[in-house]
Amino acid sequence: MTENAECRQCQDWIDDAFSGELAAELRPKLQAHLDSCPECRAVWQDTQTLQRGMALLAESDGPSLKSQTAILRAAEARAEKGQAKRAGLWSWLFRPATVAFATLALVAGLSILGRQELQKKKAAEQQVTSPVLAPQGTTTIEAAPMGGMTAPATLPQTSGNREGTAKAKKSEVDTKTAPKPQQAEQAPVKTDEERRKIPVDQAIEAAPSTLGVLKDSDTARPAPAPMKALAKPVPPPPPASDPLAPASVQAPSIPEAEKGAGGSPQKEAPNLQQQEKKQENFQPPGGDALGAVNSVSGGKSLERAATEDKAKEPTDRFQSLLNSAKLKIRQQKYPAALEDLLAAQRIRDNKEIQDLILLCRSHLRGDG
């Protein structure tokens, strides 16, 4: 091979090396030629510069974070949609609204059935107790479907002829518990006192027979379940103190209002800490007399200040974690950034945190 032909061959190998397609066995040959030929070595160096330039372009001209998160969000949404589609009927069946409706229907059904059973029982009991109250000359046959088992068809006047108050009371209770208005209508004539009572009793009994369904279903209705599912937007209040929050994060936990009021954060922070300490002294955990006095007098404002301050702590901790995570993302320290983000998410979850977590995870799992 002439020198020119060798150089042409070498430049092909250089191009292949740039494209990542140079066979391993050709590398020593390429190296040997580069060692002996300054012209090809210059081409090789130019190619390396080109490679470096391409890497720089890739670094400096990637898609924006906004685009990346938008795409990853869309991918998540699509995955969720796909899952819902696959789940098909099952997902429909287990939707909160469907579950709530089914539960409601079941409870209402059971309540009606139960009521019917109860009515039957009461009707039977009514048959047993009514003869005692039946006026003279009247029959209880109509009101006694279980004829053979009831008392004699005609009963003597029972006014003032009761067998003691206990029995009378029992009848009263019986009539009260009799559920059906029709049974009350069919109930035999009672004593004067009972006559006066009957309408009221009947009214009481009659009312639940209709209202009872509602009442039962009202009490048994599992309304909170669907409501909870739908009423998602109410976030849980931030925890009063975050176990992850180090004590050193106290300083930035100055309420925004105070910051805005012109007080310097450095000066205000110790005051609040002092207030907290005072509060601790005033109000022992058990809550004794001093604590009570405290809550009524000036201690109240201290307590409020301390509570507000504690409530602000997670917010500041959250913000500092978020800022730290953003910095780490810029420095491409994704594992450390992810840790901060997860800690921040424990304090408060929002779209920004989710996006950043998604970004870090995709960086960590991806090849890049």
Partner 1 sequence: MNRPNPASPRDDELIAAYLKGQTEAFGVLFQRYKNGIFFVVRNYFHNRERAEEVFQEVFLKLLERLDHFDGSGSFRGWFFTLCRNHCIDRLRQQARRHETPDSQWRHEDDDSQATPIARAANEAMPADERAYDRELAAHLEEAIQKLPDEQRETFLLKERGGLTFEEIAQMMGVSINTVKSRMRYALESLRRGLRHKPFVKEALR
Binding stretches for partner 1 (CB under 8 A): 12, 15, 18-21, 42-43, 45-47, 49-50, 52-54, 56-68, 70-72, 74-76, 78-79, 82-83, 86, 329-332, 358, 361-363, 365-368
- Closer residue to partner 1 (CB): 47 or 182: 47
Whichever of 243 and 368 has its CB closer to partner 1, that residue is 368
Q: How far is the CB of 244 from partner 1 (least distance, A)?
A: 25
CB nearer to partner 1: give 89 or 289: 89
- Min CB(229)–partner 1 separation in Å: 21
Length of the chain: 368
Name the residue nearer to partner 1 (CB basis): 176 or 361: 361
Q: In whole angstroms, how close is the CB of 335 to partner 1 at the nearest point?
A: 15
Q: Specify the residue, 232 or 365, whose C-beta has the smaller distance to partner 1.
A: 365
Q: How far is the CB of 61 from partner 1 (least distance, A)?
A: 6
10 vs 184, which CB is nearer to partner 1?
10
Nearer residue to partner 1 within complex by CB, 83 or 157: 83
Instruction: Please state the closest distance from residue 362 (CB atom) to partner 1, in A.
Output: 3
23 CB neighbour count, 10 Å cutoff:
9
Q: How far is the CB of 37 from partner 1 (least distance, A)?
A: 16
Beta bridge partners of 154: 139
CB of 105 to partner 1, least distance (A): 32
